[in-house]
Structure 1
Amino acid sequence: MLIRLSQTLVALCLLASNTTFALPDDQDKPIYITADSASINDTTGITTYKGNVIIKQGSLLIEAAHVDMHRANEGVDKLVAKGAPAHFRQQQEVNGDFSDAWGKHMVYMVNKKKLTITQSAKVVQGKDTFTGNKIVYDLDKSIVDAFGATSKDAKEKGRVNMVIQPTKKK
């Protein structure tokens, strides 16, 4: 347990040195959605998109087989994307690189700018890669928390994998 905690802290410290933030004006741009079908439920505030779903808003891109869009009074509150895998991409403010995420199930809390990826989760931030059974990615703070599989059926129980590239000195 102590080893896992120290590994997580080391990874977070390494990430903090490479801090990048999502483009601040993405949320102020219109949302463009294409899909094979859509079902809007005004009572629940949930719109379901199915079949080759593509959502774009500024530099943000979500591609999935199925997306449930949850709306609140303030606009879109949550997106739940499913795919084999679903894909999330957003350009970063500081260096212009893109952060990409893949997983079979994603929940994006729009106002909190927090993406939770489960089932074959992977995040690529710049040249660094993080994989695990579950990844929680705080896009606003550029913090990645990765968790290994916990079930008895998992091939590598409790393991996450990180590839952190060295930074070149100028």
Structure 2
Amino acid sequence: MKINSLMIVLAFFSAVSLAAEPDHKQPISVDADKTLASLIDSIASYADNVVVRQGSMLIKADKLEVDASAGKGKEVFITTGSPATYSQTLQGDRPVTAQANEIRFDRASRILTLSGNAEVMQSGSLVRGAVIRYNIELQQLSAEGEQNRRVTTIFTPENKDNP
């Protein structure tokens, strides 16, 4: 009986540790219809139906360029699309989604820079601007408008079904 209980407890804790592993510690996979890489320059290009995954993080784009010249763990992923999209479930099961003409993901700093018709949606709120910088780890953003266009933030009221 002690052995069976111990095995159940060990199985539970190993399942909890697997589920609790943060996205940034998981491998990044890239799928695309076409790939072109320069191993000398540490740059890879992907085109057509590009999908980047890391844990719950998902980026979809028309094109992707990965600059790995700064070394392992310091890669910069630059996606473009009409639009390129990003989604991720953050700590506390809080989903965040974003889209822009260009999404730049700096793996070392864990910062997304969205440029061109940028939007970030989280917790019922929407921010639109020309450039939005989103720190994934701190869940903080800064947004900039462009000439004659300001940053727009829309707060959605809480839906209370019960009085």
TM range (shorter): 0.7 to 0.9
One-letter code aligned to 2:123: G
**Does 1:161 pair with 2:152?**
yes
Distance 1:103 1:44, change over 3 A: same
Contact 1:124 1:130 in 2 (8 A): yes
Counterpart position of 2:136: 139
d(CA) in 2 for partners of 1:76, 1:56:
16
One-letter code aligned to 1:136: R
Q: CA-to-partner distance for each residue in 1:52-103, whole Å, 9 max, x for gaps?
A: 1001110011100000012243235110000000011111112x12111100
| Bigger Rg over Cα | 2
Q: CA-to-partner distance for each residue in 1:79-132, whole Å, 9 max, x for gaps?
A: 0000000011111112x1211110001111111011111110000012110001
1:14-93 mapped onto 2 (5 Å cutoff) = 25-71=22-68, 72-75=70-73, 77-93=75-91
Cα offset for 1:45?
0.8
Percent of aligned pairs with the same residue? Answer: 26
One-letter code aligned to 2:87: R
Contact 1:24 1:93 in 2 (8 A): no
Give unmatched runs, 5+ long, in structure 1. 1-22, 151-156
d(CA) in 2 for partners of 1:24, 1:114:
19
Counterpart position of 2:12: none
d(CA) in 2 for partners of 1:133, 1:29:
31
Counterpart position of 1:113: 110
With a CA cutoff of 8 Å and minimum separation of 6, indicate the structure with the bigger relative contact order: 1
CA RMSD of aligned residues (A): 2.0
d(CA) in 2 for partners of 1:118, 1:141:
20
Counterpart position of 1:10: none
TM superposition score normalised by structure 2: 0.79
